[in-house]
């Protein structure tokens, strides 16, 4: 299925009057509205190929129907999202789940949908059919050199696929760790992992980046070998200038101050990528902004402040991606909501009165500091986000149009009710 331009235009013309009134009202108090709108229009958030189907939990999986069964169908789904919001113009592939049969065909299909290839993701957290060695006790940390080599070779193969497609980054997330005290020698596990990462790093093309993603726990429950931002930064620093830390919002211990983490990583020039999602308890993979929208804003506030301090381009300076899994919502609806929440937080961060905040900080005016941030957070910036979409040829209300066009019903008709997204 495709969303046609006339369908978007019809939808927009029906909502145009109300939208314009809201935008005009908001713009009275926002002199920099135009600048914010153009930054929003440029901002793109990559969609991971695994977020297009039902992820399920370890207790069960409830397929929603019409899920993409091939790489081509996953790209079609992201093409639909991008047509609706013009903010999802990149796909992040997962190897081996998304190995292209023909690079040229896949690149042509991406171009048709206006998509580029974001960071490539390797997988050494599960065993694949026919694999010589098991990752049950880790991959890059493994006590057996042959297992480590298999993990290294896999990552190098992922880079090769990415080069063919025009990607320029590799994200390495390892589930390596231990579940019981005494199971691992922490230092040896770190050193083995570092050595393995160094071998992969050596195979990176000169224009590529490597993102080292950390996670506090799960699937290992006693220790994780890349467990927090300190450990990730240690690896990234030892690896070299092409290696960066990747922050996934769901990968912290409860109540971690993520905004402070991103601020310091940016200061060190070592924040490379970002995975959006939301959670109440752990790595819940819920819709971005659905549980803690204020936290999302505070994080974006630090991202914008820190990137501006370094003169970084907001769009290309970091790898922006959603990393979520869906069990009760339609994955495409969830992704539309996530992108909207991210754009709102970004817009709010752009509107923070930084001069006033700096002054209030210098005067230790704590109450004023809070007022400045919350004044912005409580401003309804949705008309700015909608205007950026409108100018890009997308829908004023993507979710509403998604439902009106019966996108899911169409996909079920095309693909069937009982489908399983590859890799899940």
Binding site for Mn ion (CB under 5 A): 248, 275, 323
**Min separation Cβ 249 and Mn ion, Å:** 9
Tally Cβ neighbours within 10 Å of residue 389: 26
**Min separation Cβ 128 and Mn ion, Å:** 20
Identify the DSSP state of 1: -
Whether residue 421 contacts residue 98, with contact meaning beta carbons closer than 8 Å, is answered with no
Nearer to Mn ion, 248 or 259 (CB): 248
**Min separation Cβ 53 and Mn ion, Å:** 17
Nearer to Mn ion, 11 or 251 (CB): 251
Report the alpha-carbon angle 300-304-308, nearest 5: 170
Report how far residue 252's alpha carbon sits from residue 10's, in angstroms, rounded to the nearest whole number: 44
Identify the DSSP state of 57: B
**Min separation Cβ 212 and Mn ion, Å:** 12
Nearer to Mn ion, 246 or 357 (CB): 246
Whether residue 304 contacts residue 275, with contact meaning beta carbons closer than 8 Å, is answered with no
Nearer to Mn ion, 161 or 251 (CB): 251
Nearer to Mn ion, 251 or 270 (CB): 251
**Min separation Cβ 246 and Mn ion, Å:** 7
The pair phi, psi for residue 210, each rounded to 5°, is -115, 130
**Min separation Cβ 213 and Mn ion, Å:** 6
DSSP string, 261-292: HHHHHHHTT-EEEEEE-B-SSSS--BPTTSS-
**Min separation Cβ 173 and Mn ion, Å:** 6
Nearer to Mn ion, 36 or 52 (CB): 52
Nearer to Mn ion, 69 or 423 (CB): 423
**Min separation Cβ 121 and Mn ion, Å:** 8
Cα 77 to its chain centre, rounded Å, is 16
**Min separation Cβ 251 and Mn ion, Å:** 7
Q: How far is CA 173 from CA 118, 139, 233, 283, in A?
A: 15, 11, 14, 14
Rg from Cα positions in the chain: 22
3-state helix, strand, coil in the chain (%, to 5): 50, 10, 40
Cα 67 to its chain centre, rounded Å, is 20
Report how far residue 133's alpha carbon sits from residue 151's, in angstroms, rounded to the nearest whole number: 9
Nearer to Mn ion, 248 or 302 (CB): 248
Whether residue 294 contacts residue 378, with contact meaning beta carbons closer than 8 Å, is answered with no
Report how far residue 197's alpha carbon sits from residue 35's, in angstroms, rounded to the nearest whole number: 41
Nearer to Mn ion, 162 or 398 (CB): 162
Q: Which residues contact 405 (CB under 8 A, 6 or more apart)?
A: 3, 7
């Amino acid at each position: 299925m495709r969303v046609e331009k006339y369908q978007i235009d019809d939808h927009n013309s029906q909502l145009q009057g109300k939208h314009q009134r809201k935008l005009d009202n908001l713009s009275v108090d926002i002199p920099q509205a135009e600048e914010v709108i153009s930054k929003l229009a440029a901002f793109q958030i990559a969609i991971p190929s695994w977020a297009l189907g039902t992820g399920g939990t370890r207790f069960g999986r409830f397929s929603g129907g019409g899920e993409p069964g091939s790489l081509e169908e996953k790209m079609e789904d992201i093409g639909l999202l991008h047509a609706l919001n013009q903010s999802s113009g990149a796909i992040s592939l997962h190897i081996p789940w998304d190995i292209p049969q023909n690079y040229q065909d896949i690149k042509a299909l991406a171009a048709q949908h206006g998509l580029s290839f974001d960071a490539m993701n390797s997988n050494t957290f599960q065993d694949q059919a026919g694999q010589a060695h098991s990752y049950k006790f880790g991959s890059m940390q493994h006590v057996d050199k042959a297992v480590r080599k298999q993990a290294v070779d896999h990552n190098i193969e992922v880079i090769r696929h990415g080069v063919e497609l025009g990607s320029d980054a590799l994200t390495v997330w390892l589930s390596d760790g231990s579940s019981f005290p005494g199971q691992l020698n922490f230092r040896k596990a770190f050193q083995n992992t570092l050595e393995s990462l160094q071998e992969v790093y050596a195979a990176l093309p000169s224009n590529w980046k490597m993102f080292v993603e950390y996670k506090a726990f799960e699937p290992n429950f006693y220790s994780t070998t890349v467990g927090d931002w300190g450990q990730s930064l240690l690896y990234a620093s030892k690896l070299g200038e092409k290696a960066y830390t990747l922050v996934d919002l769901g990968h912290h211990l409860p109540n971690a101050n993520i905004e402070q983490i991103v601020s310091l990583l940016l200061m060190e020039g070592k924040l490379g990528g970002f995975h959006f999602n939301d959670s109440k308890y752990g790595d819940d993979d819920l819709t971005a902004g659905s549980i803690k929208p204020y936290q999302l804003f505070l994080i974006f506030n630090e991202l914008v402040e820190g990137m501006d301090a370094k003169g970084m381009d907001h769009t290309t300076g970091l790898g922006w991606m959603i990393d979520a899994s869906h069990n009760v919502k339609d994955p495409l609806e969830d992704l539309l909501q996530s992108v909207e929440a991210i754009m709102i937080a970004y817009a709010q961060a752009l509107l923070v009165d930084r001069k006033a905040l700096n002054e209030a900080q210098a005067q230790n005016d704590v109450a004023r500091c809070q007022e400045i941030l919350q004044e912005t957070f409580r401003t309804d910036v949705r008309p700015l986000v909608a205007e950026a979409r409108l100018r890009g040829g997308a829908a004023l209300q993507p979710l509403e149009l998604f439902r009106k066009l019966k996108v899911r019903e169409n996909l079920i008709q095309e693909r069937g009710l009982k489908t399983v997204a590859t890799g899940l």
